[in-house]
Chain A
Amino acid sequence: MSLLDLLLLLSLLTTLYLYAFGNHRNAGHLGMVVYAVATGLVIAMAGPLADGTGAVGSTFAPVMLGHVLSWSMDGLGWFFALLTTGAAFFASWYMSGEWNAEQPNKRIQHGTLALNVFCMLLLLSSGDLLSLFIGWEFVSWAAFLMMTQLGSHAARAAFRYMLYALAGAMAVFAAILIVKAQIGSFAFADLRAAVPALSDGLKWLLFGLFGLGFGVKMAIVPFHLWQAPAYSFTPGASSAFLNAVSARMGLFAILLVLGKLIGFATLSDLALPLIPMDAKTLLMWVAAITMVVPTFIALMQTDARMLLTWHGIGQGGYMLLGVLVATPLGTAAGLMHVLNYASYQMALVLAVFAVIHRTGTADLDELGGLIKRMPFTYLALLMGIIGLAGLPPMNGFVSKWMIYKSLLDTQQPLLLIAAFVGTLGTILSVYKLIHNIFLGQLRAEHQKVGEAPGSMLAPMLILAGIGFATGFFPGLALGVVDVAQAALGVELLPHGLGGVYLATGSLNMIWVVGIMIGAIGFGAFVFYVIGNRRYGVHQFDNYAGGHFLSADIRYHFSHEFYPGLARLIGPWYRGSVVNMENGLMIGLKTAGDLWHGAFRIAYTPFYLLVALAIGLWWAGLDGGF
C-alpha cells in the first residue's frame, strides 16, 4: 500500500464517518486530527517528487470498458494537495468550538468538507485523462453539495454553479473523447507525445474545449457569474475552504493539460487570424480582464462576503497570468500566489464570518466601529487585507511583485498596467471593507458585542501569521513552489530565504520587512517619547459640524463609500455578461419548450402532414412524377 493509497483511504473513511457521525460535538477536533495527519502524509510524499520526474502511484487500478484507470500524484498535484489538506485543517479548526455548537447542520458541514477533500485528492492524483475527468466531476458535485447545505439563496447560487460546471464538464469530456479518437489513448504521456503532430485546427479545438471547461471552475471572465454568490452564501468555514481551494482545481487542470501536456509553447504558436495574437496571449488577456473587471465589481459590493469572493475571482486572474508568462519567475509567481492567496483569503473570510457570528450581518452598511469590541478579529482582517491588496510586509506583495517583474522582464507593459490597476482597485475596496466593519461609529445595537471565541480566532490569526511569515521569508513558500515547478518542467527560479535576485532588480523581503519593523519601531519611539502626553477619549466622544454626536445619531460614513468614483464609473457597470447569460437562458428555454412541445403534445395530424410532405418531396426528387 503506497502513501497515496493511505491518504485516499484515510480521506474516504473520514468522509464516511463524518457523514454518519458528524453531529458529535468533537467532530471538528476529529477533522483537525485527520487533516493534520493527511497534511503529514502529503509532506511525507515530497521526497521522491522533488526532482520533478517522480510520482507516488496508487495500487488501486480498476478496469473500465477495457481501460485501466490509474492514479498517481506528481509534484504539481502534490502542491495543490498540500494546499487542500492544509486549508481543510484550518476550516475544521474553525468549526471545532463555539461555531460547531451553534450550527443546525454540522453533520453536513463536516461531511461535505471531508468529501470535498477526498474528491480533490482524487482529482489531484489522476493518472490519465479518464481518471482526470472522473475526479473533475467528483469535485464539481462535492462542491455543489457543500454549497446547497443551507438551502434558499445559497442553493439557488449552487444550482447556477452546477449548470456552469456541467457545461464545463461536457466541454472537457468532449475534448477527452476527441483526444481518444485521434491518438487512441487516455494516457497523459501519449497526448504529450502526439501534440506536435496534431493539426492547428485540432489544437485550437482542444485549447477551446479544455480552456472553457477548466476556465468555468476558475471563474475566468465571462464564465465568472456563478462564483461569488455560490461561495458567499455557503456557511463559515465551508465558504473559506471553497474560496481558498476550490477554484484552484481549475488552475491545476489548466496547468496540467494546457501547461504540461499540450504545452504553453504550443499555444504561443497558434496564431489568431486577422489580429496579431496567439492562443497564449489571448488567454493572458482573458486573465488580465479577469483581474480587473471582477475587482471593480467587488468595489461596488455591499455584502462583505460578496466583496471578498469577487476579489477571489480577480486574484485567480493574477495566478493564471503569472503561470502563463511561463518564465521561471512568472511560473513561480503564479504558483506562489496560489499559496499566498489561500492564506490571506481564508483569514479574511473566516474573520468576516466571525463578525456575522457575533452581529448577525455582513451588510457593510449596517456595521461599524467594531475595532473596540473585536480587536483580534480586526487584526486578522487587517493583515488579510494588506495581503489581498498586495502591500508589504505581507506575502501577497511578494507574489504580486514577482508577477509584475515577470511581465516587465518579458516586455509586456500593457498587461503589467492591467495588473497594477487591479491592485489599485483592490486597495480601495479592502479599505471600504475594513472601514465599514471595524472603523467609524459603533452602532448602538453592537455595544455589547464580544470578541470571537478562541476556536475561531486561532485559525484566522495563525493564517494571517503564515501570511506574514511567508512575506518576511518568501523562500519558505518558494521552496514548496519548486516542487510543482519542477513537475511542470519549467526551469526552477533561483531564490534565497528572503526573495529573488535578478539582473534587472531584486527583492529581499528580509531587508524590506526588517527595515519596516525597525522604522515603525522608531516611529513608536518618537510617538511615545517626544511631545506632550496624549489622552484617550471614548469611542462615542465625537462631533461634526459643530454638534456633539451620540450613538443615537447615525453618522458612520459607509453607504456608497466612493461616491465620486461611482458617479464617474457607475455607468460602466452595464451587466453585459449578465445580459448574455439571460439571453442564453431565454434561448435555451425556448429551444427546450419547442422540443418539449414536439414530443409531449401529440399533433398527430401535423406529423402525418409533415411525413406526407417529406415523402412527396422525396418522391419528387426521384423524378417519379
Chain B
Amino acid sequence: MVEIANPGMLELVVDLVLMPIVAFVVGLALVLMARRVRAKIERRVGPPFLQPVYDIVKLYSKRTQISHGWMHDVAIMLLLGGFITAEIFLPVPGMSGLAEHGDLLTLIYIMMVPMLGMALGVGDCANPNGSIGISRALTAMLAYDVPYIIAVVGACMVYGTSNLVEIVQIQQAGGPATWGIVTMPLLAIAGLISMHGMLGKEPFEIYIAPAEIATGPMVEMSGKYMGALFVMQCFQLYTVGVLYTTLFLGGGEMWLTFLPKVFAVILVFVAITNLFGRLRTEDVIAWMWKWPTGIALLGLLLVMIDV
C-alpha cells in the first residue's frame, strides 16, 4: 500500500471550496472570451464584460420555470454536482484537492456523470426533439471519446502514471522539452480535436442544431434549468482547458503561467469553430474515427515503440 501525504484539514476545506469557485469564475471569463472572439470574427462589438453574469442572473430570475418531473429537477443537481466533483479531482496550481485519491481515469468517468444526468433529465421532459438531441449527443460522444481515450492512454503510458499531480510534476521538473505536446505531438493533436468535439462546437454541434430540432437537449429548459446549463458550459470550458493544459502543456506552477495556457487552448477552439458548417451525425463518427483516431493510433504506436 502506498502512503500518500494527506493535506491538513484546513487546507483541504479551502481546496474544496476554492477549486469549484475558481473554476466557475475562470469559466465565466472563458465564456466571455468565446463570445467576444465570435463577435470580432463577425465584426460586431460583442457583449460587455459582465454579460455572462447578467445572463445567469436573468435566467435564474425568470418567471417561467417549468419542471417536467423529478428527474428533470435531479438532472440539474447532477449537472452542477458532477462538475463540482470533477473540479475537486483536477489539480491546479497551488491546489491539488483530492487528486491523490482519484486519478485521471476516475476524472474521465466523473465527467460523464453530468452528461448522463443531463440525458436523463432531457428524457424526462418527453419532448421528441430533446430525445433526438440526446441520441445525437451520445452518438457524438462515442465518436470523439475514441480518439480522446487513445490520447489519454498514450499520455498515461508516457508519464508512467495516471496520477494527475505527478503528471504535472514530471512536466514542471523537466521543462518545456518534457511537455506532452513535445514528447507526443500526434497524441496532442488528436486530443485537441477530440476535446473540440467534446465541447460540442461547430462542426460537431449536430445535437443542438437549432433550425432542425429546436436546440435539442435544451428545448424544454427554461429559467434556471437553462441557467444551470449555462453554468455547466462555464465548468465544461474550464475543465477541458485545464485538462488539456495538464496533459500536454505542462500544467502550471503558478496561475500567471497556467491561465494563459488554458485560455490559449480554448481560444484555439473558439477561433476555428466559426470556420465550419455542421457535420451530420454519421459524418461526425466517420470523421472522428478516421482522422483523429488514426492520428492517435499512430501516436500511440510511437509511444509503444519508445516505451
Contacts and interface: CB of A to CB of B under 8 A. Distances in A.
Given A522-B81, A565-B282, A542 B66 contact: no
B267 to A, nearest CB: 29
Contacts of B280: 564
Given A425-B142, A512-B85, A557-B132, A392 B76 contact: no
Given A417-B149, A568-B282, A534 B105 contact: no
5 contacts: A408-B157, A424-B141, A501-B3, A512-B101, A520-B82
Interface string A553-566: 00111100111110
Interface residues of A, number: 81
B205 interface: no
A515 B88 contact: yes
Given A413-B157, A504-B160, A557-B135, A392 B110 contact: yes
B199 interface: no
Given A397-B109, A440-B128, A516-B113, 4 more contacts: A527-B228, A531-B223, A532-B223, A537-B66
A542 B82 CA distance: 28
Contact of B128 (A416, A503, A527, A544): A544
* 9 residue pairs, one from A and one from B, having the closest CB atoms: A564-B281, A439-B123, A520-B81, A505-B103, A523-B80, A531-B60, A505-B162, A523-B77, A531-B224
Query: Which of A371, A442, A542, A564 lies at the interface centre, i.e. has the most chain B CB atoms within 10 A of its CB?
Result: A564
Contacts of B92: none
A515 B88 CA distance: 8
A408 B153 contact: yes
- Report the contact-size class of chain B (Cβ under 8 Å from the partner): 35 or more
A433 to B, nearest CB: 11
Contact of B69 (A390, A522, A539): A539
B139 interface: yes
Given A391-B112, A532-B223, A565 B81 contact: no
Interface of B: 1-4, 16, 20, 59-63, 65-71, 73, 76-82, 84-85, 88-89, 98, 100-106, 109-110, 112-113, 116, 119-120, 123-129, 131-132, 134-136, 138-139, 141-142, 145-146, 149-150, 153-154, 156-157, 160-163, 206, 223-225, 227-228, 280-282, 284-286, 300, 303-304, 307
A380 to B, nearest CB: 14
Given A439-B123, A501-B1, A534-B66, A391 B116 contact: yes
A382 interface: yes
A532 B4 contact: no
A440 B131 contact: yes
A14 interface: no
* Chain B at the A interface: SS class: helix
Nearest to B285: A568
Interface of A: 369, 371-372, 375, 382, 386, 389-392, 397, 401, 404-405, 408, 411, 413, 416-417, 420-421, 424-425, 427-428, 431, 434-435, 438-442, 494-496, 498, 501-508, 511-512, 515-516, 519-524, 526-527, 530-537, 539, 542-544, 555-558, 561-565, 567-569
Contact of A505 (B61, B129, B149, B161): B161
A505 B105 contact: yes
A562 B81 contact: no
Given A431-B138, A519-B81, A534-B223, A539 B126 contact: yes
Contacts of B162: 405, 408, 504-505
Contact of B80 (A401, A413, A526): A526
A299 to B, nearest CB: 9
A150 B228 CA distance: 50
